[in-house]
Amino acid sequence: MKTSTPTQPPERRDRLLREQVHDTYKQRGQLKEPTRCPGCGAVYHKGRWSWTAEVDDNADETLCSACQRTADKYPAGEVVLEGGFAMQHKDEILNLVRKIEATENKDHPMNRIIEIRELGEQLLLTTTDTHLPRRIGKAVQAAWKGSLDIHFDPGGYFTRIAWRRDE
What is the reported pLDDT for 12?
64
With a cut of 50, list the residues of the chain below it in pLDDT: none
In the chain, domain spans: 35-63, 71-164
- Model pTM above 0.85: no
Whether 128 contacts 114, CB under 8 Å: yes
Query: Which amino acid is residue 101, in one-letter code?
Result: E
CA of 16: how far to CAs of 12, 13, 19, 22, 113, in Å?
11, 9, 10, 19, 36
What is the reported pLDDT for 56?
82
What is the reported pLDDT for 83?
93
